Amino acid sequence: MAASIAYKCKCGKKYHIYMPMARMTKQLPSMNETNMEKAKEVDKENIASGEIGVIKKYGLWVEANLGEPFVDGSIVENYQCKCGAIIDLDNILKRQMDNTPDSSEGCVLSVTDVSSMQRRSDVG
């Protein structure tokens, strides 16, 4: 199941980030070769099934309507907020799991999966 991460920068600006499963899996303590292979398969399936399309559509909707930029982690290495802070996509989950969110840094607010995006009537 593909998902989008809502992230709040230390300056308060919110972003919606799509992270491919393989890139997320790399950050997990349980990361190993088998899990990576599985994650890559899931990414392929998500593209084939159109889930990634839904995420991008949702991301662009949020950007247009809420002014919260959409960051595509399948093409963006790292993202720089207008305040100058770098959103380190390769450590975004890791830091969260290490439970070291401190107020001087950004943090993950929530993770939204595709099925709940599809339930929103305003996002096709």
Residues contributing to the site for Zn ion (CB under 5 A): 9, 11, 13, 81, 83, 85
Shortest approach of Zn ion to residue 7 CB, angstroms? 10
Closest to Zn ion by CB, 31 vs 86, is 86
The string of DSSP letters for 77-101 reads: S-EE-TTS-EE-GGGHHHHHHTT--
Closest to Zn ion by CB, 26 vs 69, is 69
Q: Using CA of residue 4, residue 93, residue 90, residue 103, what is the dihedral sign? A: positive
Shortest approach of Zn ion to residue 52 CB, angstroms? 26
Q: Which residues contact 63 (CB under 8 A, 6 or more apart)?
A: 16, 69, 70
Closest to Zn ion by CB, 7 vs 18, is 7
